[in-house]
A and B are shown apart, each in its own frame.
Chain A
Amino acid sequence: MSNDTKTLKPIDHETEELDKVIVRFAGDSGDGMQLAGTRFTSDAALFGNDLATFPNYPAEIRAPAGTVAGVSSFQVQIADFDILTPGDEADVLVAMNPAALKAHAKDVKPGGMIVANADAFESRNLKKAGYETNPLEDGSLDGFRVFAVPMERLTKDAAEGTGVSGRDVLRSKNLFALGLLAWVFTRSIDPTIEWLEEKFASKPDVMAANIASLKGGYNYGENTAAFKHTIVVHKAALEPGEYTNVTGNTALAWGLIAAAQAAKLKLFYGSYPITPASDILHELAKRREFGVMTFQAEDEIAAAGATLGAAFAGNLAVTGTSGPGLALKSETISLAVSTELPMIIVDVQRAGPSTGLPTKVEQTDLLFAIYGRHGEAPLPVLAARSPADAYAVAIEAARIALKYMTPVILLSDNYIANGSEPWRLSDIEKLQDISVPFTTEPNADGHYLPYLRDDETLSRPWALPGTPGLEHRIGGLEKSAVVGNVSYDPSNHQLMTDVRAWKIRNIANDVPPVEVYGDKDADLLVLGWGSTYGPIRGAVKRVRKDGLKVAQAHMRYLNPFAANFGEVLMKYKTILVPEVNSGQLRHLLRSEYLVPAIGLNQVTGFPFKVSVVERKIREVLA
């Protein structure tokens, strides 16, 4: 693919230039809204806009058709400047049925554009969505610019003669909507045509129907007088360089592959399918050309167990899951702490407890990641802050796991996992060598002592099965310090417990210091971790534009905290911690540093809106 956009036909309509636009596609879960949104995003990315996306869909594969519960949506913000979030209220809503309108009309800006599939607004669907009269006709949408387009009829007309007929034709109506939007945004539909040609190469009739519908939508915009103007969002003035658009799950998977190369190890990924982590397994399973060994285990416990075995055997061993799976892996992670083997546990957080809201976002596993094991079993915890950041964090998690011979928990969440953003490829640092030497010779007078530690890192040596002369046994029973035999000695257990804690605490000196953005001399520090980065940074930018003084710091290292963290905290009179949980980082700050941090907390299943964080900052500073 390239970024060449073919010259468009001259536009006869009035053109509105905007610096940013928020578009939301909404329809039944079977209407193909995720695909329409993703394609719209890809085209915007290739065009050169900055963007951020937010897919939102029900947990059910096919929730009852036509109901509000079954609505699936995809929001994307495109802009000609550097943006951080998919935005709050939509400028444009595409509503494929009454339920989609019902669920999303309240999130459209006053005066915003609503493009509705008029054919779906018949009495049965209206009733299912809870409308007594047709909102397209009863004046209730008067505050918006409403375009009622008979998309189903037009899709049928467009696809005539392609060989696809009957109800199957209607499966292409998402492409009709996409084509129409492409016209509104003066975008070429060629990249999507190319994509369809590749995707449906083996189904020529489906390909033809989809392309015809896409073109039908585009031509409808051009040929009817319905749309009075088109919208132009220019290329973003991003930092020069080469970009791609990436989701968090994909970036994380690629980061693991890169980490294995940097560590000169083979990558083993043991996992059991779970929303929203499965796409990491899918991506890695494709990558046999990198020698990646994926293992779909019988359950979460086996995934963790096989991963620990692969670590013992000398691989970069990774398991991935979401909250419920992390609970099941907990016992194995304790064994990894005890045996001091390097492994990475990826937790793509979702809303809990229990099955909770499996397709929605939360940051509620922080304390569980840090403390959720039996016995005292400390381990490092890192968090990605955005889709692209997941790549670098995966490599960093591997570096720490290998250097310190410890399991590491890497926190992502549903917002990062499925959201996407442009990623400046030139920002990818050249891979550093993070390999650790395996021990191949006896380390003590002709003997191998598996718990003879490195003076600096306190990490134990890694001798692989198959190495002559270093045969040894490890396990979950307490080991004697240095020698590593089973030991029930009371003072030895005290020592080993302390050493395990020191080893992890010591990592604080081996991570970059916390950096403060904004007004370093402000009274207020807004502190966050994980996927709240975008909304917090967006809000801080807005209030600073108005002259308010605010500092911001965002934590990648959550256990241990960077060595300078306490010092940073002490500089600010007020510390505000926005979190998509009920105050877990705040709890840690208050207990570890005795600072009176205040929270902004939300557990609705949705990420923060920039405006919510902004309002709180203004309130705190008032």
Chain B
Amino acid sequence: MTTLTYTRKDFQSDQEVKWCPGCGDFTILASVQNLFAEIGLPREKFVIVSGIGCSSRFPYYMDTYGMHGIHGRAPAIATGIAITRPDLSVWVMTGDGDALSIGGNHIIHAMRRNVNINVVVFNNQIYGLTKGQYSPTSEEGKITKSSPWGSIDHPFNPVSLALGAEASYVARSIDMDRELTERVLREAYEHRGASFIEIYQNCNVFNNHAFLELTGKDTRDQNRINLVHGEPIVFGPEGENAVIMENGAAKVVPTASVDPSQIIVHDEFAVNPSVAFSLSRLSHGPHGPTPVGVFRNAERTVYETVLQEQIDTVQKKKGVGDIETLVRSQGTWTVE
């Protein structure tokens, strides 16, 4: 087999990209195309499935196999592909409304089953395609067209939700941080089982600067907590803040105020997701210090692997099924 040498261009379809100028989706598209070229898997092995929303136009812009599905149902469609075709790399490109509102049920069940799919949630905390209603990740009190007096809905924290559903790979990135995005996308690709990646994505038309606290020059260093496996969790321009566990919850404290042994050493491979969950509770929104990077990267039984094992075991035990035998399996009689 010849070595596959792709460039980003090989993954660009001939369709005009129709997102609003300045949309965070462009950066994510570039990151994905770049990464897929680097991975070196034959292009025809990638399948991208989406639902409805701005992010869900994604498959049309990728020169791979793809299906633009219906609102919220991409994880279900992707499940049918992944279960029956373990040879494919199946991706779900979705948004906060598609994945967590109308598709909330499918997301949690895909995660708990640990089907080998990679779900990338473009979280812009607003409904873009329907022109500016609050989403299930919008902050309480948000003024939008459908909440002129402020949103009454309490938002989901997507990473907490994924960990609660026992997703085996969970990470968070930011659209502008292509390096981190490509790294977690690659890890999701390599991970066998369900991966969940939340990407904070700026909607410059309906919800501009939603993530400014993490991306703005003046604030990002104070607020961005980089999760690094095996390292104590400290952050701030001078490393002046640290994260410890106190009464079963993660808490930000001045680094100087605690003994270094109290600082959480990040373990993304921990089988128990409890500490990862605590870390995900540090911020909501995001407001204030917010962890980014890999929350969890655990090994867990993959659905389609066991399904295939069951088929192999039964066929070994009973032999490959024969329809003539099957229709006689409940007893027969003969009329002369």
- Residues of chain A touching chain B, judged by Cβ–Cβ distance below 8 Å, are 1-3, 42, 45-48, 235-246, 250, 254, 257-258, 261, 266, 268, 270, 287-291, 293, 295, 297-299, 301-315, 317, 331-332, 335, 339, 391, 423, 425, 428, 431, 465-477, 485-486
Contact = CB atoms under 8 A, between A and B. Distances in A.
Contacts of B54: none
Contact of A302 (B63, B106, B307, B335): B106
Contacts of B84: 266, 268, 293, 309-310, 313-315
10 contacts: A2-B333, A257-B326, A293-B84, A302-B75, A303-B76, A469-B44, A471-B65, A473-B59, A473-B68, A475-B69
A317 B323 CA distance: 19
A254 B323 contact: yes
Given A258-B323, A308-B69, A477-B68, 15 more contacts: A1-B332, A243-B334, A246-B330, A287-B321, A288-B313, A289-B319, A301-B73, A302-B75, A310-B84, A313-B80, A339-B67, A466-B65, A468-B42, A471-B64, A476-B68
Nearest to A291: B311
Contacts of B77: 305-306, 308-309, 312
Interface in B25-42: 42
Given A257-B326, A313-B85, A288 B105 contact: no
B320 interface: yes
B88 A465 contact: yes
A244 B67 contact: no
A266 B66 CA distance: 21
B335 A306 contact: no
A258 B80 CA distance: 21
B23 to A, nearest CB: 18
Interface in B310-329: 310-311, 313-315, 318-321, 323, 326-328
Nearest to B49: A309
A368 B143 CA distance: 41
A53 to B, nearest CB: 14
Interface in B270-327: 307, 310-311, 313-315, 318-321, 323, 326-327
B164 to A, nearest CB: 15
B83 A295 contact: yes
A391 B327 CA distance: 10
B105 A299 contact: yes
A261 B76 contact: no
A261 B50 CA distance: 31
Contacts of A306: 76-77, 79-80, 83
A303 B80 CA distance: 9
Nearest to B78: A309
A291 B318 CA distance: 12
Given A268-B84, A305-B76, A245 B321 contact: no
Contacts of B326: 254, 257, 287, 290
A313 B75 CA distance: 15
Contacts of B323: 254, 257-258, 261, 290, 431
A270 B66 CA distance: 21
Nearest to B108: A298
Contacts of A298: 105-106, 109
B332 A242 contact: yes
Contacts of B73: 301-302, 305, 331-332
B145 interface: no
A425 to B, nearest CB: 6
A82 to B, nearest CB: 11
Nearest to B65: A465
Interface residues of B, number: 58
Contacts of A299: 105
A310 B81 contact: yes
Nearest to B313: A288
Contacts of B63: 471
A314 B76 contact: no
Given A308-B77, A309-B76, A466-B88, A48 B45 contact: no
Contacts of B336: 240
Minimum-distance CB pairs A-B, first 5 = A309-B80, A475-B68, A305-B76, A306-B80, A290-B321
Contacts of B70: 305, 331-332, 335, 476
A341 to B, nearest CB: 9
Nearest to A431: B323
Given A317-B80, A467-B44, A473-B13, A46 B87 contact: no
Contacts of A241: 334-335
Nearest to A343: B80
A474 B13 CA distance: 13
Interface in B104-142: 105-106, 109
- Give the interface SS of chain A, mostly helix, strand, loop or mixed: mixed
A486 B78 CA distance: 21
A291 B15 contact: no
Contacts of A331: 70, 73
Given A305-B77, A305-B106, A335 B334 contact: no
Contacts of B62: 473
B211 interface: no
B196 interface: no
A1 B332 CA distance: 7
Contacts of B80: 268, 270, 295, 305-313, 317
Given A287-B321, A309-B80, A244 B332 contact: yes
Of the listed residues A245, A290, A312, A467, the one surrounded by the most CB atoms of chain B closer than 10 A to its CB is A312
B331 interface: yes
Contact of A486 (B15, B81, B109): B15
Contact of B331 (A238, A244, A470): A244
B19 to A, nearest CB: 14
Contact of A288 (B43, B45, B315, B332): B315
Given A240-B336, A266-B84, A46 B328 contact: no
B47 interface: yes
Contacts of A242: 328, 332-334
Contacts of A250: 330
Nearest to A285: B310
A475 B70 CA distance: 8
A243 B330 CA distance: 10
Nearest to A283: B326
B60 interface: yes
A307 B326 CA distance: 24
Of the listed residues A2, A244, A485, the one surrounded by the most CB atoms of chain B closer than 10 A to its CB is A244
Of the listed residues A2, A287, A473, the one surrounded by the most CB atoms of chain B closer than 10 A to its CB is A473
A302 B76 contact: yes
A306 B117 CA distance: 13
B68 A313 contact: no
Of the listed residues A45, A242, A295, the one surrounded by the most CB atoms of chain B closer than 10 A to its CB is A295
Contacts of B85: 313-314, 465-466
Of the listed residues B109, B310, B333, the one surrounded by the most CB atoms of chain A closer than 10 A to its CB is B333
Given A290-B321, A309-B76, A468-B42, A244 B327 contact: yes
A336 to B, nearest CB: 10
B49 to A, nearest CB: 7
Contacts of A238: 335
Contacts of A303: 76
Nearest to A304: B76
A405 B323 CA distance: 26
A293 B311 CA distance: 8
Of the listed residues B42, B50, B70, B87, the one surrounded by the most CB atoms of chain A closer than 10 A to its CB is B70
Contacts of A3: 332-334
Nearest to A310: B80
Nearest to B77: A309
Contacts of A431: 323
Contacts of B314: 288-289
Nearest to B18: A486
Contacts of A311: 80
A560 B327 CA distance: 31
Nearest to A238: B335
B332 to A, nearest CB: 5
A169 to B, nearest CB: 29
A244 B328 contact: yes
